[in-house]
Structure 1
Amino acid sequence: MSYLVGKIVLDVVAGAPNNGMGEDNVARVKQLRVGRNVHPYVSAQAFRRWLRDSLPASEPVSPVVRSGSGRKQQAYTQGRPDLYFDDDLFGYMVAVKGDKTKTCQRDTVLATGTFVSVAPRRPELDFGTMSRGFAAGENPVLHSHEFYSAELAGDVLVDLPRIGVFEIDGAGLKIALPEPAAEQARANGAEPVTFRGCSALRLGIVERRRRAALLLRTLTTVRGGAKRSLHYGDRTPAMILLAPMKGGINPFTRVLGVRADQVRFDAEVLRAEIEAWADELDGQVLLGWAPGFLGDQRSQVRSELNDLIADGRLLLDHPRVLLGALAEQIERGDRDAWFEDPKE
């Protein structure tokens, strides 16, 4: 088995991709404070929404059910990971009081961290006016909003063996597919297996490969974000670091640092982690780096890590090229061992 672990970096230029709570007619971007420093961020929920919205139009997504009113409202997806890619990869919770045939839960297969600016960046305040159609002499309506430029980084993990595998027993809400959903999945070809101590149903390997490949391709084509009318910008990852690890450890969280107020990629940190975790790595480390991101650092890092590249332990290329090639390997069946947990 293998987990794909690593880091995704977004390059935000004069943008406001994820807004927080507004106040006094000012739209604030999400931000956190570390000491006296301000770090804008994009929440994991927002990025996952962008990713879901970036799926091909041909890929069906799980319909959302909304019920109740006021503070007692509920909203949840169908909870059918056998039918829908997003229920499988992103997880869900369906809690219908008194109805065990619908109550179920699935932990996420794709785990994403918060995308926080690596270097402190204080948002700027911009203002605009609305006066269109006002009579002569009337005062315009003023409104303000924040925006910023920053490199945002978040950790990522994909639990490959869990793609297309759904628990049907366990304690409490561990059940991912209650009856009669499980019965329908069996009728559609899902096979019974024992998975991590639970009875489960597993989709065929062709569909599991397809879903993993679709995730990788979609990661390189992310679009979305708030305020696109004023601050449109590229939201595809400028950098993606992914490595297949036999366990769920992510040792690559510290490859980015700050020097003289500028974000720096630390090649020696990456080298040290590759060597320290060599026995847990289950293939090449992939470093997708868009040309032009972080200036001339890309060519410097290539030079500093040339021996790892020559040995085949590290691949450095455009994110779309690297993940597209990995998706093709998965679809061909070259990486089927990554989908199998050790025999219990």
Structure 2
Amino acid sequence: MSFVTGLLLIDAPASALNNLGSIPGARTDNTVGVKMIKARDGAYPYVSAQAFRYWLRTTLEDAQIGWQKAPIYREEKVAYTDANPILFWDDDLFGYMRAPSGKKSAQEKRAADTSRAGETPTSDTITRVSPFRVSTLVSIAPVSVTEDFGVMARHEGDPVPHEHQFYRTTLKGLFSLDLHAAGTFSYRQKTGFRNLDDGRIEMARQRGLELVTADKSYRLPLAERVQRVKTLFEGLAHLEGGAKQTLHYTDVAPALTIMAVTRGGNHIFGHVVGATGRGQPEFKLDALAEALTVFADDLLSAVYIGWTRGYLDDERGRFEQALQDGGLLAPFRGQIQIAHPRVAFQAMAAALAAPGHEGWLD
């Protein structure tokens, strides 16, 4: 099976992109803290995978790029999407879990809810493991988190104090997309693999989806599968989101990304970017050269590197020098394409749709 395997960096010069709420025992009752991993060597701010996936979902929905989002339904303490990957692209690529309550009261409430007029009937528990996977985005080095003190003073009487934390760092995250799973829906009686209940199986038949008997699954036409995957990468190119944007206005679109289509789901780029002793981002040329050598048989595409000019220019100069004759990366010069991150994501999307690459989605 083939995967799009990638790494991304988000430049957070003064940011609080994912917060944990009030901090007990702080100087003010409404002090807002940032999420961080506390280790022996210091504090590593992070953005949860859930938050990143939320940014990407909302970007895809708002970017006017044709994304077909699933409706969301609420029942007291639970909420879920329509769980129909045949119709809705986020149910396909981001996965779902749907376990309808059999209680009479719950059934009556669902029947009376007019917002469910177009809901896909669900007769059994169905789940889908997300073909798109993303790691927690973690600071590349420990940092000293800043405590910012402010007041609300636009009123008569004493000012109202408030505080919040923020940080300066580079966040690193990994992502992976299972190309075989995209647009392919299993009906196996196994947790995580029963994507379709009887009603959805019938819909797949009526719509003429390909039956893949060996996998006990139905598959969308290739053109539709490619379109969904292409649009996902267009969303990554336009990524927006993050907390405290009114105060810190951080551009969360990746400043640097590395990706390729690989055979197998092991991440080959996980260690090619690290930190110097001063906590600054460092492109590890020897680690990239080793990965391209060791995993040469698993690389199915070019290696697409998106790098914003103005970000780590000295590192970029060192990288480009390594591509020249005699450089450490010179043997791989024909494999590596470097451009702006948005162009790199678009190039990856175009490669997935190019003639001759149909096997990547098999």
CA distance in 1, matches of 2:47, 2:68: 26
Match status 1:297 vs 2:276: no
Q: 2:97 aligns with which of 68, 93, 99?
A: 93
Name 1:213's counterpart in structure 2: 230
Which residue is 2:111 aligned to? none
Match of 1:111 in 2: 133
**SS of structure 1 residue aligned to 2:180:** helix
Q: d(CA) in 2 for partners of 1:295 and 1:183?
A: 55
Any idea what SS the aligned residue of 2:20 has?
coil
**Conserved in 1, the CA contact under 8 Å of 2:187 and 2:197?**
yes
Q: Which amino acid aligns with 2:129?
A: D
How much has 1:269 moved relative to structure 2?
A: 0.6
Deviates more, 1:285-294 or 1:328-337: 328-337
The alpha-carbon deviation at position 119 of structure 1 amounts to 1.4
* Separation (CA, whole Å) in 2 of partners of 1:78 and 1:51: 19
TM-aligned CA deviation for residue 6 of structure 1: 2.4
Supply the distance in 1 between the matched residues of 2:289 and 2:355 (Cα, whole angstroms): 29
In 2, the alpha carbon distance for the partners of 1:274 and 1:130 equals 55
1:178 equivalent to 2:182? Answer no
Q: Is the 8 A contact 1:31 1:39 kept in 2?
A: yes
* Matched position secondary structure for 1:180: helix
Q: Which residue of 2 aligns with 1:60?
A: 68
Structure 2 unaligned spans of 5+: 24-28, 104-121
Partner of 1:237: 254
User: What letter corresponds to residue 226 of structure 2 in structure 1?
Assistant: R
Give 1:115 deviation, angstroms: 0.3
Cα distance, 1:226–1:116 mapped onto 2, change above 3 Å: same
Displacement of 1:309? 7.2
Q: How does 1:181-260 map to 2 (within 5 A)?
A: 181-194=200-213, 198-260=215-277
Q: What's the counterpart of residue 150 of structure 1?
A: 169
Contact persistence 1:126–1:145 (CA under 8 A): yes
The alignment covers a number of residue pairs equal to: 331
The alpha-carbon deviation at position 59 of structure 1 amounts to 2.2
CA deviation after TM superposition for structure 1 residue 102, in Å:
4.4
Show the counterpart of 1:21: 21
Cα 1:2–1:173 change in 2 (3 A) is closer
Task: Give distance in 1, aligned partners of 2:240 and 2:356.
Answer: 29
Aligned to 1:54, the other structure's residue is in SS state: helix
Specify the code of the residue in structure 1 equivalent to 2:353: E
Q: Give the AA of the match of 1:276.
A: V
Residue 317 of structure 1: how far off its partner (Å): 1.7
Distance (Å, rounded) in 2 between the aligned partners of 1:210 and 1:221: 17
Looking at structure 2, the residues matched to 305 and 121 of structure 1 have their Cα atoms a distance apart, in angstroms, of 32
Q: 2:49 aligns with which of 44, 62, 74?
A: 44
Aligned partners of 1:173, 1:276: CA distance in 2, in Å?
Answer: 32
Partner of 2:10: 10
Displacement of 1:289: 1.2
Given that residues 129 and 192 in structure 2 are in contact (C-alpha distance below 8 angstroms), is that contact kept between their aligned partners in structure 1? no
Secondary structure at the counterpart of residue 298 of structure 1: helix
State TM-score, norm by structure 2. Answer: 0.87
- 8 A contact 1:167–1:175 mirrored in 2: yes
Question: Which stretches in structure 1 are left out of the alignment for 5+ residues?
Answer: none
Aligned partner (choices 292, 299, 305) of residue 281 of structure 1? 299
Partner of 2:114: none
On the 8 A contact 1:309/1:315 being kept in 2, the answer is: no
Counterpart for residue 74 of structure 1: 78
User: For the aligned residues, what is the CA RMSD?
Assistant: 1.7
Identity %: 36
Distance (Å, rounded) in 1 between the aligned partners of 2:131 and 2:317? 34
Q: What is the CA-CA distance between 1:173 and the residue it aligns to?
A: 4.9
Q: Quick check: 274-283 or 184-193, which moved more?
A: 184-193
Q: CA deviation at 1:147?
A: 1.1
* Residue type at the aligned position of 1:81: P
Residues 173 and 236 (structure 1 numbering): CA distance in 2 closer, same or farther, change over 3 Å? closer
Residue 83, structure 1, aligned to residue 91, structure 2: no
* Distance in 2 between residues matched to 1:232 and 1:33, nearest whole Å: 25
Q: Does the aligned pair in 1 maintain the 2:98–2:127 contact within 8 Å? A: yes
Q: Tell me, in whole angstroms, the C-alpha distance in 2 between the residues paired with 1:206 and 1:127.
A: 54
Secondary structure in structure 1 of the residue aligned to 2:242 = coil
Separation in 2, partners of 1:172, 1:38: 37
Q: CA distance change for structure 1 residues 64 and 190 in 2, over 3 Å: closer, same or farther?
A: same
Question: Per the alignment, do residues 120 and 173 of structure 1 end up closer, same or farther by CA in structure 2, a change over 3 Å counting?
Answer: closer
Partner AA of 1:165 in structure 2 = T
Residue 172 of structure 1: how far off its partner (Å): 4.1
Q: 1:161 aligned to 2:183?
A: no
Does the CA contact (< 8 Å) of 1:7 and 1:240 recur in 2? yes
- In structure 2, do the counterparts of structure 1 residues 185 and 27 end up closer, same or farther at CA, with 3 Å as the change threshold? same
1:30 has 2:13 as partner: no
Match for residue 288 of structure 2 among 267, 270, 274: 270
In structure 2, give the amino acid aligned to 1:95: A
Q: Describe the shift of the 1:157–1:172 C-alpha distance in structure 2 as closer, same or farther (beyond 3 A).
A: closer
What's the CA shift string for 1:133-157, capped at 9, x where partnerless?
x32xx11111111111111001111
Tell me if 1:325 matches 2:347. yes
